[in-house]
Amino acid sequence: MTGPLKGIRIVEFAGLGPGPFAGMMLADHGAEVIRIDRPGAALDPRDPLSRNRTSIVLDMKNPEALKVARELCKSADGLIEGYRPGVMERLGLGPDVLLADNPKLVYGRMTGWGQFGPYAQAAGHDINYIALSGVLHTVGRAGEKPVPPVNYVGDFGGGGMMLAFGMASALLHAAKTGEGQVIDCAMTDGSAVLAAMTWGFFGAGRLKDEPGVNMLDTGAHFYDTYTCSDGKFISIGSIEPQFYALLREKTGLDKDPAFDAQMDPSQWGPLKDKLTALFATKTRDEWCAIMEMTDICFAPVLSLAEAPQHPHNIERETFLTVGGVVQPAPAPRYSATINDTPCAAPTCGADADALLAGLGYDAAGIAALRDSGAVG
């Protein structure tokens, strides 16, 4: 692998969602990421969260498998695990043990609720974590129930991406000082941080504590999506006065004095009704011809099938094909340490022999581990 993290080795105890996303981010940017998979597990080569990995299958109920896992962690710069608090300790692979083996180890722990707190041992999903952090309350239209933003905010933005950032930060610290540490990455905490600007607006009295009535949550007429005559959608974000003026000019609304009241929340509802009627008079493509690539702050709302075909995304190579399917390309991009084209997820256990040989096992030792069921 190339990329700025080349030379970094991460051991990833296979899990779901945010942990693999953090592993993907680190692997995309050059780290060697070794997945420890369970017996019977299967990786889908079409899954971007599992790309750029090597894999070994270990039966963690077998003492010899635990020994191998411990040896892998001794050889690593970092570790990712997403079990409930206490599971790794019960396996004999907790931070006290592994940091004693490898004092520079960065031990990344990914959970929804965190390693401590009243909810720490409870099951949950993205929707629950962002509900508790206050984020879910802010997403929705006025007078309606909150709308989960898929699982982008908890699992990925406030979870996997936050863990990847924490890992990179702690790896820098370890490189400078020789000191490893434990990262307690909770999706409740991470999603709260993602809402920092909202908390700032709320604290300053610039935001009402209800959804759908504020400038950026579909309350304002100039920051929303609209339906076109063909049933497709466009997005408008004309916040700044000069961008709003251009919106009015391109749509002919500069002649309607009602739109002078841009920042008067009492007028947002009636003005939104006017825009709704206006945008329903043309197709999405017709509005694109008028407003696309201008300073209106406009873009068509593209489907998953459409987005990779848009000229902007094509020119920037925002998407690529891996494992026979379209996936997002690694991001961000660098001027010097260019990221490799991702490799599809491996077959579970495909790299066991090479990894074990790297730990010093000879052919007989590897065969014995397989015969015992420790290695799949």
Any alpha helices (H) in 133-195, and if so which ranges? 161-177, 187-194
Burial (CB < 10 A; 0-12, 13-18, 19+), residue 301, is middle
Residue 353 is a catalytic residue: no
Any alpha helices (H) in the chain, and if so which ranges? 18-28, 63-74, 87-90, 95-101, 126-132, 161-177, 187-194, 196-203, 241-251, 265-279, 284-291, 311-316, 352-358, 363-372
Rounded distance between C-alpha atoms, residue 119 and residue 132, angstroms: 10
Report helix angle 187-194 to 161-177, nearest 10.
100
What secondary structure, in 3-state letters, does 195-224 show? CHHHHHHHHCCCCCCCCCCCCCCCCCCCEE
Structure tokens at 122: 């409870």
Q: Which of 59, 101, 125, 340 is catalytic?
A: 125
Q: Which are the contacts of 183, defined by CB distance < 8 A and separation ≥ 6?
A: 106, 107, 108, 109, 163, 166, 167, 170
Q: Which of 155, 217, 224, 351 is catalytic?
A: 155
Query: In this structure, are strands 32-37 and 106-111 parallel, antiparallel, or unpaired?
Result: unpaired
Q: Are 110 and 22 in contact (CB under 8 A)?
A: yes
SS3 (DSSP) at 105: coil
Burial (CB < 10 A; 0-12, 13-18, 19+), residue 227, is middle
Residue 155 is a catalytic residue: yes
CA distances from 61 to 66, 81, 123 (A): 8, 17, 23
Burial (CB < 10 A; 0-12, 13-18, 19+), residue 62, is middle
Structure tokens at 369: 């581990």
Annotated catalytic residues are: 125, 155
